Chains A and B, each alone.
Chain A
Amino acid sequence: MTSAIETEALTKEFRVGFWRPRMHCALDALTLRVEAGEVFGFLGPNGAGKSTTLKLLMQLIYPTSGRATILGRPAGDLDVKRRIGFLAENPYYYDYLTVEEVLAYFARLFGVSGAAVAARVGAVIEDVGIEAYRKTKLRALSKGNLQRVGLAQALINDPEVLFLDEPMSGLDPIGRHHVRDLILKLRQRGRTVFFSSHILSDAESLCSRVGIMAQGRLVACGLVSEMLAFELKGWELVVSGLSDDVAGRLRTRVRTITPLTHARFMLDLPPEAEPETLIGELRATGAQLVSLNPVRETLEDYFVKQVSAAKPRT
């Protein structure tokens, strides 16, 4: 079966510097496969090569070497463009056109005509939750609402593959929740979503697979569940009624003791500690248990580990 997105040794170098030009490798031999129906999170710090990859896939820039295909055809092919949607980072459209006009314009570019234009525009406006701004000119919209217009235009052709560059950027918590729901809905409908993000919690909750970029290279790629062994990193124990004397004796058995409000303390225990035994001992001294939580490795920990280990560009 053809992959939804495939890149093979995709490389992009830019010439930088005016007087002494030198080549800067923004993307170094990226080989990647995203299967149809996947929600793929493309993660990495600023300057890691995420936007460069998306621009190469949209053929807004041309590769120095390597190749990229979408739905089995070369990236940039007009037939492919009919079947995909793209939201750029910090999108800007046309100041003096209204939300409806911009979306109708984009719908017509896909060959939608007549009454179908209004129906399609209405559907995407509802999908992204900007019904109140239909007749508003884009220059009067907030950053978050512009981002929603950007999402709406990316969905206007009901794309098979959706590319989103930092889709949560500029959105308030409600907006982010809305976009998360939208991506989940698209996943249920069997659409492929490829999105770049800094927000790891979104990737963790939405993606079946993620790729981590650093210094222009893909440093890790795979299922979130495989990447994280959900290894236990320790225990977080909160107790109240802890006397100074008991707290002093505990210092050798816990990593840290942090005083909290209302005479509570948070004890950070190593993974090998036996919290049940400790809780029993503490109860005997008159302390009460407030909560006990295991601390496991998150995608953020994994991300930081991978990005820190990446070698600098040569």
Chain B
Amino acid sequence: MRVIRLIAGAVFKESVRDRVPYAMVVFAVLLIAASYLIGQLTAGQDMKTIKDLGLAALSIFGLFIAVFIGIGLVSKEVEKKSVFGLLSKPVSRTQFILGKYAGLVMTLAVNLGVMTMAFFAMLYYMNATTPAGVRAAWPSPAMDPRLLLAIGLIFAELMIVTALALFFSAFSSPLLATLLTLGLWVAGHFNADLRNFENVVDSAVVVAVARGVYYVIPNLAPFDVKAEVVYGMPIAMRAVSFTLIYAAVYIALLLTATVTIFRRRDFK
């Protein structure tokens, strides 16, 4: 555990000093700020627009950070051979992967935290500068705590994406790993269509294959509760709990697969 903690700490330190995530966080904060201006253009919908845009910015920039840092750090370590220095120390390959993952998740959490603070600062400003009469017409309060639930689910989803990025980095090139991770993220949001493929085609084989793919690729749609939060619709906590358990199981399986591949890999 000590070794995993040390590796995670080094990953965190290295990635927070890298300028790329900063650029992304700054861009996301700017977008959140811009949502205020865009909100002004949509009469009566300003709060919804700000929340919608803010959550979308968190999700998209969080995705970029997860993919680019996840793949960048591990692939760079293998390509530039710093992995040689680390694996010749009393560090097992399992500890290496788990440490890297923990460090990446820590980095992601801090970046999401910064973006969340910027988002809430914007909402606070909106709340303070809007007359009470207008506020009463909003479907949910500006500082709705359920926003944190939506962000929590975005974080869980990005933890899966980070595990995917690490998995693909364990055996493929950085470019391929990036494409595969982003591809699976997109597919993961439309996964439900695969489950009900019999409504689209008649072939039993195709339906069986589609069903198989459905179970393999991550089902990311349940992590998206932005609409429910923005429009003040109810969210079933049971479904949220199930989604979080699903994330934990999926991440555990992915990390197990990553460790299995990584333990057999030759570092030429």
Instruction: Give the interface of A toward B (CB within 8 A).
Output: 14, 55, 58-62, 78-79, 81-82, 84-86, 88, 90-97, 101, 105-106, 108-111, 150, 153, 163
Partner of A91, one of B6, B10, B85, B267: B85
Alpha-carbon distance between A153 and B87 when the two chains are bound, in angstroms:
13
Stretch from B76-84, B117-125, B136-144, B209-217 forming part of the interface with A: B76-84
What band does the interface of chain B fall in when counting residues whose beta carbon is under 8 Å from A? 20 to 34
Residues of B within 8 A of A62 (CB): 264, 266
Write 17 A-B pairs (CB below 8 A) sorted by A numbering.
Answer: A14-B268, A55-B268, A59-B87, A60-B88, A62-B264, A62-B266, A86-B84, A91-B85, A92-B80, A94-B14, A96-B14, A109-B3, A109-B89, A109-B91, A110-B89, A111-B2, A153-B85
Q: Is the CB of B267 within 8 A of A55?
A: yes
Q: Is the CB of B85 within 8 A of A86?
A: yes
3 tightest A-B CB contacts, nearest first = A96-B17, A86-B88, A88-B84
Q: Is the CB of A94 within 8 A of B88?
A: no
Q: Is the CB of B84 within 8 A of A60?
A: yes
Alpha-carbon distance between A215 and B116 when the two chains are bound, in angstroms:
59
Residues of B within 8 A of A109 (CB): 3, 6, 86, 89-91
Residues of B within 8 A of A84 (CB): 88
Q: Is the CB of B267 within 8 A of A60?
A: yes
A163 — nearest CB in chain B belongs to which residue? B88
Q: Is the CB of A78 within 8 A of B92?
A: yes
Residues of B within 8 A of A14 (CB): 266, 268
B193 within 8 A of A: no
Alpha-carbon distance between A94 and B80 when the two chains are bound, in angstroms:
10
Alpha-carbon distance between A136 and B81 when the two chains are bound, in angstroms:
21
Residues of A within 8 A of B10 (CB): 94, 97, 105
Q: Is the CB of B81 within 8 A of A88?
A: yes
Contacts A61-B266, A91-B82, A109-B6 given; 14 further ones with Cβ under 8 A?
A: A55-B268, A60-B84, A61-B267, A78-B90, A81-B88, A88-B81, A88-B88, A91-B85, A92-B80, A94-B82, A96-B17, A109-B3, A109-B91, A111-B90
Most buried by A among B10, B13, B84, B86: B84
Instruction: Give the interface of B toward A (CB within 8 A).
Output: 2-3, 6, 9-10, 13-14, 17-18, 80-92, 264, 266-268
Q: Is the CB of A95 within 8 A of B81?
A: no
Q: Is the CB of A96 within 8 A of B266?
A: no
Residues of A within 8 A of B80 (CB): 92
Taking the closest CB of chain A, its distance from the CB of B34, in whole angstroms, is 30
Q: Is the CB of B85 within 8 A of A60?
A: no
Q: Is the CB of A58 within 8 A of B88?
A: yes
Alpha-carbon distance between A106 and B84 when the two chains are bound, in angstroms:
13
Alpha-carbon distance between A60 and B2 when the two chains are bound, in angstroms:
22
A80 — nearest CB in chain B belongs to which residue? B90
Residues of A within 8 A of B89 (CB): 81, 106, 109-110
Partner of B90, one of A61, A82, A92, A95: A82
Taking the closest CB of chain B, its distance from the CB of A306, in whole angstroms, is 26
Residues of B within 8 A of A150 (CB): 85
A12 — nearest CB in chain B belongs to which residue? B266
Alpha-carbon distance between A105 and B10 when the two chains are bound, in angstroms:
7
Alpha-carbon distance between A61 and B81 when the two chains are bound, in angstroms:
13
A78 — nearest CB in chain B belongs to which residue? B90
Alpha-carbon distance between A94 and B14 when the two chains are bound, in angstroms:
7
Q: Is the CB of B88 within 8 A of A108?
A: no
Q: Is the CB of B13 within 8 A of A101?
A: yes
Alpha-carbon distance between A82 and B89 when the two chains are bound, in angstroms:
7
Residues of B within 8 A of A55 (CB): 84, 267-268
